[in-house]
Structure 1
């Protein structure tokens, strides 16, 4: 039972990293990425190939981040002039391209047989009996680092710029902001974070094949973001936990429903998952968290505080100098 819980928590941490990446791209920047599973697979295969070639786990992970970030920037550059619907189709096509390449290029990816024997990080330094717990701690540590980094990015000037581009790119461009570069950077960062999740997935299972990277992975990531609340990194953590509990907890239906076979149980499981998400959206339409918003300054928060342009009693300057005065320009004579 403990081993099962450790496995579930590991999968939750990987899913949370994937959802945080999607939240940056879709939740904050408004760029729909239905092909996030393609970046997930690209990161997993890149990290696996580099690790099997002799690179350490850290170097393999950073290599996967670089490859996925470059691919994300290229996809964003090619589709920046497209609307949300067409951008979703482009990213969906990218995910399918990655899946077909991993399935047919057996010389590189092993094809349908996959890549077995992926080295696990620091496996020789940890006792075999406690390695799963160690890997869980590693995943939680990486998740914490990703969360803090994205939380800081969200509250930074760049995060505010990303949200302004999402709300109205025309207004942002009118104010002198480079909308193209902002979207490229946001999409590339999100793709790099997706590569981290893919690398952890490959290291955890030590075996990957194309069947692990189906479009349902993208659906699960969107479910986690919707349940957690778009734009809220804190809510994403709860959203990922909720989705994984629904997915994994429903596996125990066979212990309570014995009259159905395996195929019928699989259908009932999907029905219950969909029903649970519908009920969740009815009662929590905004998700667990809300996007952080800027607050007004202290003077505007305090109703009794004097307005900066108002005149104080006994002010020697008088009202004419304490309030801004607007005069029409004199006509040309």
Structure 2
């Protein structure tokens, strides 16, 4: 397998794990997370530092995932009484604070120099790709179980109308904490695999553009649909990487003009996808009841 193909599949797998986490938080539960890149970055730095301190890389990845879950739960708890718009602001502010820490606390993160030579749990890009694909499959299977379980139906009720869910006796706060933390764990897992793949991280790698890509994957795939998110993650990465070859046909453009053209092509591709599939590529799972199944006997 070529190095470029491995690189593409790694990007798709990592983006897919992060997008599945956002789909659980926002797509299924309705909790907006504009600070996705902050939880992603937190896990990447935690995983990198612990691995460099001599921890087993697998334990470092697990600890980083748990840390992202705890940070997500804490953020959700702080914003327990806030509506969607204000929750988005809180998560974005939290992520920006984390980025400032990464830039200025050199004793912990090495600042703008970044962290290099991050140990991997397995040797070779191919083996790491296999691990990442296995993690992607595990996260997908877990979130599909959640979506089809009573917890998933309650999450959709919470998304559609939290007041009605509370009136019916559902523990809204506890549900928000559990689901936001579970989605944050997936985002943290993606961040840890990012650190292992690149073996070097610095603050410039993490920014709101990561959040934008994850939201694009969820919107294009279909809000609440895990299968759609996997398909759209490949679509988004294919658009991002495929437009790099535009330079072969428009070599007379400058670097800045080429970058603008790439963004235009990506935007046009997304617009076309939303025009023809406004509800997403795959509809979310809904429990189907056979007609007449609950009707009393004649």
* Category of TM-score, reference length = shorter chain: over 0.9
CA distance in 2, matches of 1:309, 1:175: 29
Deviation beyond 3 Å, 4+ runs, structure 1: none
Residue equivalent to 2:22: 22
**Structure 2 residue 58 is matched with structure 1 residue 71:** no
* TM-aligned CA deviation for residue 160 of structure 1: 1.2
Give the aligned partner of residue 246 of structure 1.
239
Larger Rg: 1
- Normalised to the residue count of structure 1, the TM-score between the two structures is 0.87
> How do residues 102-251 of structure 1 correspond to structure 2 at under 5 angstroms?
102-123=102-123, 131-251=124-244
CA distance, structure 2, for counterparts of residue 278 and residue 92 of structure 1: 26
Larger relative contact order (CA 8 Å, sep ≥ 6): 2
Whether contact under 8 Å (2:103, 2:112) holds in the other structure is yes
**Where do 5+ consecutive residues of structure 1 fail to align?**
124-130, 302-306, 311-333
SS, match of residue 176 in structure 1? coil
Unaligned ranges ≥5, structure 2: none
Structure 2 distance, partners of 1:117, 1:136, is: 18
The Cα RMSD (Å) is 1.2
Q: 1:74 and 1:83 mapped to 2: Cα distance?
A: 16
Residues 58-105 of structure 1 show CA distances to partners (whole Å, capped at 9, x for unaligned) of: 111110111111110110011121111111111111111111110111
> Which whole-Å deviations, capped at 9, do the CAs of 1:199-221 have from their partners, x for residues lacking one?
00000000000000011010000
Residue 300 of structure 1: how far off its partner (Å): 2.7
Query: Does structure 1 conserve the Cα–Cα contact (< 8 Å) formed by 2:122 and 2:128?
Result: no
> In the superposition, relative to structure 1, how do residues 282 and 298 fare at CA in structure 2: closer, same or farther (>3 Å)?
closer
TM-score (norm 2): 0.97
The number of residues matched between the two structures is 298
